[in-house]
Structure formats: C-alpha cells, structure tokens
Structure 1
Amino acid sequence: MPLPRLAVTAGEPAGIGAELLIRLAATPLAASLVAITDRQLLERAATRCGVAIELIDDDGSVQTERRPGSLRLRHTPLAVDEIPGQPDPRNARHVLDTLAEAADGCMAGRYDAVVTAPLQKSSINDAGIRFSGHTEFFAERAHAEVVMMLASPELRVALATTHLPLAAVSAAITQASLTRTLRIMHAELRAKFGIAEPRIAVLGINPHAGEGGHLGREEIDTLIPALDALRHEGMHLLGPLPADTAFVPAQRRHYDAVLAMYHDQALPVLKSEAFDRTVNLTLGLPFIRTSVDHGTALDLAGTGRADPASLIAAANMALELVARRDTRPPSPLRGEDRDEGTILPRTIK
C-alpha cells in the first residue's frame, strides 16, 4: 500500500529545524518523508546529531515502505552556509522557497500534507520581506481564510487573533471576524477531526467575560450577538466564558475545542500541560498543514540535543488527518464522554 507523502520543511537554517528533521527521519514513521531544504544543511545536521542518514533525491515515485534513517529530498539551496544560532537574512528567500514548494506541491497533489519546523520571522523581515508567519504565508499562497489551532491529545485551542499586540486585539475582533472564524472551526472539526456535532467554548475578551459590562462591553456588543446568530444556524457554542475557569478539568468534558480571543489567553495552558505533544494546525487550507508548537531554539542549535518530540507529534497528527480524510466519514468524538444534558452558562445576560 502506498505510504502517505509528507513534505517536511526545515525552517530557519540556523535553528534546530534540520536537526529535528534528521531525528524524525530516524524513526520508523510509516510515511514517505520528503525534506524540502538544502542537502548539505541536512548532512551537517546529521553529523551533529550522530545519526546516519540516507538522502535520496525525490522523483515523486510511490513508496510502500521506508527504512528508518532514509529521507527523500527536494534540494533547495541555501544562499550561504548556516552558522548555528546566528540567523542570516540572506537565507530568507531559501526559507520562503521551501514553504512555497510545500504548499504548491500539496495543492498539486504531489504531497498529502506539509509538516513545518520552526522559522525565524525576524530574519525574514530583516531581509526586507514582509512576513508574519507560516499561517499567514500559507493562507496567502492558497487564497484561503484560515484559523490557527493548537492541539494536544487532551485539548484543542483556536485563536480569534494571532500575532497582534495586546492593545490591538479588541479592535480586531468584530462580529464578522468571529463569525468567519467559528464557521471555519466548525467545518474543520467535522472534516478533519471527525466530530459530527462540534461543541465550541468561546472565551470572553475581558476578565470575568466582562462582568455584565462592568469590566468592558466587548462581550455584550460583539461576542454575544455573533454567537447567538450562529446558534440559530445550529452551532453548539458555549460562552462567552471567563478564561480563568474555562480550562478546569470539570469543564473540559462539555466541549471539543476552545476559541481564545488572543495568543497568550489560552496557549500558556496548553503548552504548560503538553509542550512536547502539542501540534500547530492551520484550519481552512485546501491541504493539511501541521507544525511544531515551539520556536527555533537558537541557543540549542548546533548541539544535536534538541528534542524532536513536537515534530514527531506533528508528523503523526498529519498522518492521522490524512487517514481520516481518505477513509472516515464524520462521527462523534468520544461519544461516551459527551454530556448533552449540561450546558455551561453564559456569564453575560
């Protein structure tokens, strides 16, 4: 049976991405791994990790098995050799070229999914190229509206806003943007995770979800009207909920995913519990994209000691999503854990 083809990008050449990719290739993962990066970068990373690696130029042919340590390659040359821990803006175009090949290859059917190692946004911007992250790059490349979600085995969290200063968050959240985000979440929880009737918990923006307007009116003026309109469409939405109690264990059984209003509202909870098992996904793309949930770890680059657990988790989740896409109709998740008789109350009236 043909193995799924996963395009894997190495991210920032001066970071830990290439070393993580080498560690991933050394596992018995049942996938055709296609590295999109520079050959010599991988060879140097393998030497630093003390891992024997077999690099095979990718010809697009079908693989039915893969030996641990073997890795197919789409050679994308660096502009200059990397210096571990010291990003060089001259390699910014290399990084973007690898992302373009991965995205275009998925949309053309050459790859079943893309898995990305971390990159250094500042280095790309230092090269004079406007760039805010993987998520935004893939959205623009695919002409798609997307949502960032991070998922561990225990918790899924999506973001209403991503990489914004906190002072800009409230103005960025509108009824229209919330409606768009929740529709994407709802559709992708059904399509990608096989949840027939997704239950989504929506966090408030303000402390105590606004305390009836005493701590801010965003919940009353923006969140509640948007949620009520979507409830009339049949969506199962809880909230707006106070963020400080929404993640307690007793509450989690009532929802399948959480929509947080801003980056640091919910991600610290997720990462503190499952940093090495959390995967970043981009919802709304016409292809599957997963990633690590951490950065380039420049202080570890070149040591061969970086932990590959998150990249391995991202590759495994990509395979699960590919399998579900190809073989499984939507069905309820953990049906025995659902409690349809208890609905978390809205705090705002």
Structure 2
Amino acid sequence: MGPFTFISRNSTRIIAGAALLGLVLPGLADALRPFLGYCVLTMLTVSMLRVDVASFFARVRRPLPAICAGLWLVVVFPLTLLCLAVLLGPPFALPLGLTIIFIFVAPPPIVSAPAFAMLMGLDGALVLAVTLIGTVVMPITAPTIASFFVAETMPISAVDLALRLALMISASFALAFLLRRLLGPGRVAAARPVLDTVSVVVAIIFALGAMDGVGARLLTDPGLTLGITVGSFAFALAQMALTYAVFRPFVGVDAVAMGYAAGNRNAGLVVAALGVTQIDDMVWLIFALSQLPIFFFPMILKPLGRRLVAAHSAVPNARSLP
C-alpha cells in the first residue's frame, strides 16, 4: 500500500489525531493559526476540483430536495434560532451569544461533507448539491442575517463580509474550474489519492491551528472547556436530529444525508472572512471546540448512518419530493 493510498483510507483518523495533537503542542498551533484562511480556500478548491459533475447534474434534475435543504440550512434554521435567542433574552440575546450562534448556523455544510456522507453509505450527490447551493448563496444570506442580528459585534461590516465571502468562494470555484480544464476529468479522477493527500495535509494544518489556545484554556478552566466541548457535540447532533425529523416525511432516506450536512457547518469560512486573528477569544474557543465533532463524526456516526439507510431501504413506497 502506497503512502497516498494509506492516507486516503485513514484520513478521518489522521485529522482527528491532528486536532488532539494541537492540544499538546500549543506553540505549533499558535504558529499555524494565521494560515487557517488559506487552508479553508485550499480545501474548498480541492473539493470543487473533485466534484463529480455527472452526479451533481443528476441530482439537479430533481432539484427540490436539494433546494429545500439548502434554504433550511442557510436561511430558515439560522433565522429561527437567532430569533428564538432574542426572544429568550440573556445570555442568548447578548452580543457575544448572538455572534457565536451566527458563526455556527449561518455557514453551509463543510466541503468534505459529501465524501464523509458517502463513507457512511449516505447520498453523497445530495449532500454535494446542498453544499454547493449553500456555499454559492452564502455571500448573500450570511451578511444579510448578520446585518440584523450581529451588526454591532462583527469586526467588519456586512457589506465587507459579503465581498470577502464572494471573493473567497469565487476564487476557489474559478481555480478549480481552471485546473479541471487543464488536467481533464480523467487525470483528476486518476489523481484522487493525491488530492486526498493534499486535502488531509491541509486539514491537518487546519486542525492544528484551530486548537490554538485550547490546550492552555483546558488547563486553566477545564470545566468551561469540557462543557463547551460537550455542548458542541450536543448542538451538532441536535441540528442533525431536527433536520432529519423535518425532512424525513418528505424525502425518506435522503433525510439522513440532509441531517449529516446540517450538523457539520463550514464555520471556518466565516472565521476566515472575518480574520482569524481578529476573533474574540471566547468566540475563537467555541469555534475551535466546535470543530471536534466535524473531525470525529465520520468515525462515530458511520455505523449509525448505515443502519438508518438500511432501515429506510427496507421500507417500501418511501415518499420523496420531486
């Protein structure tokens, strides 16, 4: 087994290990934190380069499930949760609370969500379509929502945020398109182990840099750190369960894939646009710990995902949106 193949097959374990390594190597985490924005751009570009165009357009021929899921993820759910936080009042309605909620519910699914979904036997094409829809509209939806709820606490204006997001996303899409045209679909498909390795190396840098300050906080305030960690896993699972419950009556087995996408948000895209060195320390701590579910879910949820898919497949006449 070559190194590229080994890395490709063990990518989830390697990335999870890198996150834990960042806790015990604070100096390395601090040195890599400024590069997180570049990591996000690289991962987005590689993911777009690897898009299975045929699968995507096959899903687009039945666009309603993907469109509904995309709107739920980046419009309906963020607005509902932020409005609920305002109605509940402090501490949820405080500027810091609203900012944290915004960062973790406004982004689209992570760019690796389709690959992770397929590892669990889910509909990767659907997750890909939802991810692309959410990513494309994010420069409009996220800044608009931010202007209503977190305008006073954002380090940049909603317009600047929109421009930065649009620039980051369009640059990644354009570079991926150019590389695909230069290399050709055949070479891109043949280079899958190499692209997997690039993605894993970049994800390792991201995981290490994201843990900046977390190890020190764990030593000085273990209760808070462990509490946020548990809360991050619980919140991600709650998003999955709610999305699954909402869509199951309409799309059947596809709701499993939609739920997985909902629980794994690309908060790094927002943080990169805001500036990784300008984030409030508490927001950064919660952002860093919220990445742990993303790193560990592919291993933890893989058996559950396959059981749910198998259970739905055994049910005849499953309903599905056109």
TM-score interval, normalised by the smaller of the two chains: under 0.3
Higher helix share: 2
Higher strand share: 1
Q: TM-score, normalised by structure 2?
A: 0.28
Larger gyration radius, structure 1 or structure 2: 1
